[in-house]
Structure 1
Amino acid sequence: MELRSLFIDFNSYFASVEQQDEPALRGKPVGVVPVMADSTCCIAASYEAKRYGVKTGTLVRDAKRLCPGIRLVPARPAVYVGYHHRLLELINRHIPVAHVGSIDEMACELLGRERERAHAIAIARALKADLAAEFPAIRASIGIAPNAFLAKTATDMQKPDGLVVLEAADLPWALHRLELRDLCGIGPAMEKRLHRLGIRSVEQLCSAPIRVLHKAWGSVEGDRFHRRLRGEHLPEPAPHGASSISHSHVLPPELRHGAGAETVLKKLLQKAAARMRHGKLVARRLQAKIKYLDAPSWKEIAYCNDCDDTRTLLGHLDELLAHRPRHGRPLAVSVVLWDLCERIGTTDDLFAAGGQNASSPLDPVLDRINARFGAQKIGYASARSAAAPMRIAFNRIPDPGREDPTRGNP
């Protein structure tokens, strides 16, 4: 069984980029936060901060207690995206990147002699040497294995700055020391399902028959998981097109009121609509949600009949917001455009009043202006005062041309 995959995972990525971009932060405990407020939580922590018990999700007030000297910095998504592309260029000098899993994870395919252990390790070490020379504050763990699943798993077995090779002879015993949740594809719900089947350790998981994993996953994905654990190289299923586009935002303290929540929702909707048009898609449903600090969450859905027109979508949002609770302090807001389909092949509603839902010639012009001069340079006035900067999801790299940067590029 040959080595086929080399996986790179950048350690404590957001915090490491902050240390790279600001040398005064190097060697210091750093926490990255969405807003500068004690009521929020750290979205990333440097290894210096992790030694004190600070981790992703730690409340800022607790981080200050655990690590009195922690340096808190506001998140700068545009900077992280900029470094992501620079790091991709560095990796591609050594081996082509086959797949970008997230802003801090990349998979590469080993070919020919690269599949020999010595050659694969040499590539990893050369990559690490260039990384240390060009980005000294950013480190990466590299896993090498017969498939991408095991290579990704290997990156978690030695952090920070690790290099782990898993060969056929190492399987499955090398995995036994891991927890079930350490394996990609096993979250809280799947862990409970495995527990109900009597599987409480990775050793038990590795020895379970394929029919048991099929039952646990409820589909052929359980069979695939069984085979990946044994090092089989399986082609990934063809990805499906996006079925939804969403944006969410935790409100800063100064916007935790009704008008602030509505304004941010309108800005998020404009961003989502621009992304949808870029993908040549239309939406059939719009969902708006407000999470309150002192009241139950509110959520409503509107049907919008194959729409990609921002003004029409804002009208639907206004109709939803007319029914939102008038009491309570908003904490977070989100919008989702559901039931997406390709623009080609859809027909505008013949009976919609005033051409409602028809594509506006204005929107593509606004999209081009924002793509050329920077996100949200021009837009509808109802959202101009809102602060809803670019955010980075786990499986999507934002485009700074269509989403707000917080503080420029590196």
Structure 2
Amino acid sequence: MTLRCLFVDFNSYFASVEQFDHKELRGRPVGVVPVMAATTCCIAASPEAKRVGVKTGTPVHEALERCPEIMIVQARPARYVELHHRLIAAIEDCIPIDGKPLSIDEVACRLIGRERQRDQAIAIARKIKQTLVDRELSPILCSIGIAPNTFLAKTASDIQKVDGLTVIELSDLPHALHGLQLHDLCGIGPSMLQRLIDAGVDTVAKLTAAPREHLRAIWGGIEGERFWAQLRGIEPPSRQRKTVASVGHSHVLDPQMRSAQGMRSVLFKLLAKAAMRLRGERCQARGMSLHIRFVGKEQRFSRDLSFAPLDDTPTLLQLMADAIEPLMRAADGRWQVHRYPPLSVAVSLTDLQPSTADTASLFPDRHRNQALTRVLDQVNQRYGHNRLYFGTMQHALEQGAAPMRIPFQHIPDQATEADVGDPAHADPSMDELWLQRERQFKAMAETAHRQARERSAPKPKPTTPSHQPSGVGGWVRKRRDQADPDGRGTTGSLF
């Protein structure tokens, strides 16, 4: 009885929820995007879209080229959280969940006693699938993997999609993994894949045969040994939760917010939200990091600030306002906003320390700002996030910019992250994993944009056709060989 973990992975979760709610989308290719803009990327794709090459991270313009009939829909995080809780309740009626869900669409369950017998484990998996059908939760389907540890169970759940069921026993190792590619294994991204190839490990068979010391050297530390153990069915000790090193938020601006004032308003909203989370962690920040990306420019506007420990929103907002003031002044002249509009913004509070380490301020303005912050937190926690807010955030709130973002590895806390008027609050849960996934998506989107530019750079310009076909929602699918001669890809002056 070597089976110890049953892993449930809901297939194409966000797209499946959209098909669940909208019958007209069922059986059709669907792409889910964070904002309705042609410059963004798909954060989820339905199985029908995946079959024609549209996947997570595919830019919208490429998705429309590969699949002209694809339906592009905007993400609805609150709805995904709501259905998540219904799905979890269905699973828990079949088997207890091991701790907290790993993400909004992944759940690990520990098998004990007779449940570790192959027939018993398979029966539980089939019961989960039938329960979802009985509760009328289809077309949300799940793939289930059963294996000696969580890593292998997750790997097994990915082998057969959609609606699959795969069992890997200890006696099946390592041969059961040899048919996979290295990038199919969780924890092997593009950079780690290259490191493995450089070390002569270019197949899963070579990876499973590599000694522990070799993997430790490739990974550069204990993670290599953890990976070696996981490949052999061993469940390594769980990592201890690290002290929060930073809190922050990023946002790809909607087209109507791609102006100097729109950018500024969204930055203020993101910083106010980060400051509230900072206080929730009972920390103070000694630094701030700002990053602004522009359409058509590789160069970014970045500022890194250092200051005495702070946690009050007014002071932090004033520091950020001072930092971006040169850029705001340039909007009237050197910065050609119409040509290089802001594309995305990010703000992080860094160099954190526990609030208990703070020394009382000698300045009356600080006392006033701290008192104001306490009142804001009390009102917003009781009556809804951003019930009270600073006037500089008005434009962002009116346009619904920077809402609660898409959670991949975390079920968000709507009480502190959803604005007034959003659906009912969900139960609060983990926080740092959500931000980790958001950063992963941002990096993925940036990579997709960079690769698109690299592919289009050497192509000559043909004659412009008289008619340009439009895509979903009236978006024009701009030809890659019609890029504007705006110096894209250079690293010269921002202005």
Is the pair's TM-score, using the shorter chain for normalization, greater than 0.5?
yes
Q: Where does residue 256 of structure 1 map in the other structure?
A: 258
Please give the secondary structure, in 1, of the residue aligned with 2:395.
Answer: coil
CA distance in 2: counterparts of 1:283 and 1:107, whole angstroms: 35
CA distance in 1: counterparts of 2:145 and 2:205, whole angstroms: 20
Cα shift at 1:189: 1.4
In terms of mean alpha carbon deviation, does 54-63 or 169-178 score higher? 54-63
Amino acid of the residue matched to residue 306 of structure 2?
A: Y
Are 1:81 and 2:81 matched, yes or no? Answer: yes
CA distance in 2: counterparts of 1:364 and 1:92, whole angstroms: 39
Cα shift at 1:359: 6.9
CA distance in 2: counterparts of 1:315 and 1:65, whole angstroms: 45
Indicate conservation of the 8 Å contact 2:286/2:310, yes or no. Answer: yes
CA distance in 2: counterparts of 1:371 and 1:119, whole angstroms: 46
In terms of mean alpha carbon deviation, does 189-198 or 206-215 score higher? 189-198
> Deviations for 1:269-290, whole angstroms, at most 9, x for unmatched residues?
1111112222222222111110
Cα shift at 1:64: 2.4
Please give the secondary structure, in 1, of the residue aligned with 2:347.
Answer: strand
Find 2:371's aligned residue among 354, 361, 365.
361
> Deviations for 1:162-221, whole angstroms, at most 9, x for unmatched residues?
111110111011111111111111111111111121000111000011110010111122
Are 1:315 and 2:318 matched, yes or no? Answer: yes
Amino acid of the residue matched to residue 112 of structure 1?
A: G
Q: Where does residue 95 of structure 1 map in the other structure?
A: 95
Q: Where does residue 133 of structure 1 map in the other structure?
A: 134
CA distance in 1: counterparts of 2:375 and 2:368, whole angstroms: 15
Cα shift at 1:355: 4.5
In terms of mean alpha carbon deviation, does 256-265 or 366-375 score higher? 366-375
Find 1:278's aligned residue among 277, 280, 288.
280
Cα shift at 1:358: 8.2
CA distance in 2: counterparts of 1:407 and 1:47, whole angstroms: 29
Are 1:348 and 2:359 matched, yes or no? Answer: yes
CA distance in 1: counterparts of 2:33 and 2:234, whole angstroms: 40
Amino acid of the residue matched to residue 326 of structure 2?
A: H
Q: Where does residue 32 of structure 1 map in the other structure?
A: 32
CA distance in 2: counterparts of 1:64 and 1:179, whole angstroms: 28
Amino acid of the residue matched to residue 178 of structure 2?
A: H
Identity of aligned residues (%): 48
Please give the secondary structure, in 1, of the residue aligned with 2:120.
Answer: helix
Q: Which runs of 5+ in 1 are unaligned?
A: none
Indicate conservation of the 8 Å contact 1:146/1:168, yes or no. Answer: yes
Indicate conservation of the 8 Å contact 1:286/1:303, yes or no. Answer: yes
Q: Where does residue 123 of structure 1 map in the other structure?
A: 124
Indicate conservation of the 8 Å contact 2:77/2:404, yes or no. Answer: yes
Amino acid of the residue matched to residue 228 of structure 1?
A: Q
Amino acid of the residue matched to residue 338 of structure 1?
A: T
Are 1:404 and 2:418 matched, yes or no? Answer: yes
Going from structure 1 to structure 2, the CA distance change for 1:259 and 1:136 (only over 3 Å counts) comes to same
Indicate conservation of the 8 Å contact 1:285/1:338, yes or no. Answer: yes
Q: Where does residue 204 of structure 1 map in the other structure?
A: 206
CA distance in 1: counterparts of 2:375 and 2:201, whole angstroms: 56
Going from structure 1 to structure 2, the CA distance change for 1:178 and 1:221 (only over 3 Å counts) comes to same
For normalisation by structure 1, the TM-score amounts to 0.94
Are 1:376 and 2:386 matched, yes or no? Answer: yes
Q: Where does residue 67 of structure 1 map in the other structure?
A: 67
> Deviations for 1:360-391, whole angstroms, at most 9, x for unmatched residues?
23334433433343332221111121111111
Amino acid of the residue matched to residue 279 of structure 2?
A: R
Going from structure 1 to structure 2, the CA distance change for 1:359 and 1:199 (only over 3 Å counts) comes to farther
Please give the secondary structure, in 1, of the residue aligned with 2:218.
Answer: helix
Cα shift at 1:349: 5.5
CA distance in 1: counterparts of 2:201 and 2:368, whole angstroms: 54
Q: Where does residue 388 of structure 1 map in the other structure?
A: 402
CA distance in 1: counterparts of 2:157 and 2:367, whole angstroms: 48
> Deviations for 1:93-113, whole angstroms, at most 9, x for unmatched residues?
222222322211111111122
CA distance in 1: counterparts of 2:351 and 2:368, whole angstroms: 17
Going from structure 1 to structure 2, the CA distance change for 1:237 and 1:2 (only over 3 Å counts) comes to same
Are 1:225 and 2:227 matched, yes or no? Answer: yes
Indicate conservation of the 8 Å contact 1:388/1:404, yes or no. Answer: no
Q: Which runs of 5+ in 2 are unaligned?
A: 427-495
Amino acid of the residue matched to residue 11 of structure 1?
A: N
Find 1:173's aligned residue among 172, 175, 179.
175
> Deviations for 1:120-178, whole angstroms, at most 9, x for unmatched residues?
11111111111123211111111111111111111111111111111011101111111
Indicate conservation of the 8 Å contact 1:307/1:359, yes or no. Answer: no
Cα shift at 1:336: 0.8
Root mean square deviation of aligned Cα: 2.0
Q: Where does residue 9 of structure 1 map in the other structure?
A: 9
Please give the secondary structure, in 2, of the residue aligned with 1:138.
Answer: coil
Going from structure 1 to structure 2, the CA distance change for 1:240 and 1:133 (only over 3 Å counts) comes to same
In terms of mean alpha carbon deviation, does 70-79 or 298-307 score higher? 298-307
> Deviations for 1:36-56, whole angstroms, at most 9, x for unmatched residues?
222322221111222222222
Q: Where does residue 242 of structure 2 map in the other structure?
A: 240
CA distance in 2: counterparts of 1:294 and 1:358, whole angstroms: 43
Indicate conservation of the 8 Å contact 1:304/1:316, yes or no. Answer: no
CA distance in 1: counterparts of 2:183 and 2:106, whole angstroms: 18
Indicate conservation of the 8 Å contact 1:282/1:341, yes or no. Answer: yes
Amino acid of the residue matched to residue 258 of structure 2?
A: R
Find 2:345's aligned residue among 333, 339, 342.
333
| Structure with higher helix content | 2
Cα shift at 1:18: 1.0
